[in-house]
């Protein structure tokens, strides 16, 4: 069996590394392709894991559009597939790299395995373009690695045969637990915030920052830490509202280990990220979701994710309750993590060995 793995962004690299590590342990032939969709953010991860791509398509350019990303990957990946002739192309999640790599494999009639399959909001514009990417890969993929029973049910409802699906948990839990086990970190009175999504640019992100400003001014004993995404449009909004507030730390993007340290030392996390919605519950940290919809509905159902959306008053209401009501905080922090036990990579590889 020869597996080609294609990823392009920092979150994909984090979530695919446990699979690559396990493949190497088992001596399975692997070709690791990186499209370069997040070049500067992903490179430190290769150094940390000491695993490097066999090829970097290096598609990234300033202010790149979705059209540029799609066309660049599609035209560059064809020759690699023809040269390498993998038995299967493994893609992860919901990025443009994920969709286009799956499409390119389909054009060559190469099997596709989809890690983190079956996540749905049922609104193709939220998150954008990720929700449609997920749906399209779901139509292409031969094998679907669903993190949860909810994801499994989504796929079954879309007509995917049950023998093509396995519930694995999420590989991000494999990664984050492995790293966290080597860290000695203490809790602080700290709120960690990440916000960067396309659909939150403009007034939604301003609302988020105005809520953070009020929280910082009302709870002076809490520190707010916000690693700023490299996107200038994101940074301009954040700085215009939150710069020069004493207990708000606007910092540069963190490497993976430092971000995990910040995460597990925080009392509360506010985020519009997808991956953090899965990582934080593994450490009993309440997550306030800065989105109107989430594809990680099982986290909402279990209680570990609290949907705030992007209206200032809703963000304030939920965050203040977590700060002030200790009994409520303990209830949310003690909610069951639905995203697995850290053994997803082994389940995925065992399934592939059986099927291919």
- Enzyme catalytic residues: 94, 116, 130, 196, 198, 229
Largest interatomic CA distance in the chain: 60
Please give the helix or strand (H or E) that residue 300 lies within, else none: helix 297-302
Q: CB-based burial of residue 37 (10 Å sphere; 0-12 exposed, 13-18 middle, 19+ buried)?
A: buried
Look-up of token digits 């995404």: 229
Contacts by residues 289-296 (CB-CB < 8 Å, ≥ 24 positions apart): 290/195, 290/200, 290/208, 290/315, 291/126, 291/127, 291/197, 291/199, 291/200, 292/126, 293/121, 293/123, 293/126, 293/127, 294/121, 295/119, 295/120, 295/121, 295/127, 295/131, 295/134, 296/119
3-state secondary structure of 309: coil
The alpha-helical segments, DSSP class H, found in 141-223 are 149-157, 171-180, 203-218
């Amino acid at each position: 069996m020869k597996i080609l793995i294609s990823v392009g962004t920092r979150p994909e690299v984090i979530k695919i590394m446990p699979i690559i590590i396990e493949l190497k342990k088992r001596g399975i032939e692997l070709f690791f392709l990186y499209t370069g969709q997040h070049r500067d953010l992903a490179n430190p991860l290769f150094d940390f894991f000491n695993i490097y791509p066999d090829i970097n398509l290096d598609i990234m350019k300033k202010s790149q559009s979705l059209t540029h990303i799609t066309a660049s990957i599609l035209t560059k990946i064809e020759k690699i597939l023809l040269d390498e002739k993998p038995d299967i192309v493994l893609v992860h999640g919901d990025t443009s790299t994920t969709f286009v790599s799956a499409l390119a494999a389909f054009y060559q009639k190469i099997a596709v395995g989809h890690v983190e399959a079956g996540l749905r909001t049922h609104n193709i514009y939220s998150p954008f373009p990720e929700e449609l990417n997920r749906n399209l890969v779901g139509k292409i993929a031969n094998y679907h690695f669903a993190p949860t029973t909810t994801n499994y049910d989504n796929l079954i409802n879309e007509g995917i045969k049950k023998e093509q699906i396995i519930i694995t948990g999420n590989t991000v839990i494999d990664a984050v637990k492995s790293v966290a086990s080597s860290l000695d970190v203490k809790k602080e009175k700290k709120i960690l915030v990440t916000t960067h999504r396309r659909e939150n640019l403009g007034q939604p992100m301003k609302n988020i920052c105005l809520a953070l400003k009020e929280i910082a001014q009302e709870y002076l004993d809490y520190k707010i830490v916000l690693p700023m995404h490299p996107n200038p449009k994101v940074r301009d909004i954040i700085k215009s509202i939150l710069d020069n507030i004493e207990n708000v730390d606007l910092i540069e993007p963190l490497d993976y280990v430092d971000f995990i340290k910040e995460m597990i030392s925080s009392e509360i996390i506010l985020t519009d990220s997808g991956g953090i919605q899965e990582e934080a519950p593994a450490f009993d940290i309440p997550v306030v979701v800065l989105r109107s919809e989430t594809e990680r509905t099982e986290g909402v159902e279990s209680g570990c994710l609290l949907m705030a959306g992007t209206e200032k008053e809703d963000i304030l209401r939920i965050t203040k309750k977590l700060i002030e009501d200790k009994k409520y905080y303990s209830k949310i922090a003690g909610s069951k993590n639905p995203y697995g036990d850290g053994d997803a990579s082994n389940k995925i590889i065992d399934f592939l060995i059986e099927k291919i």
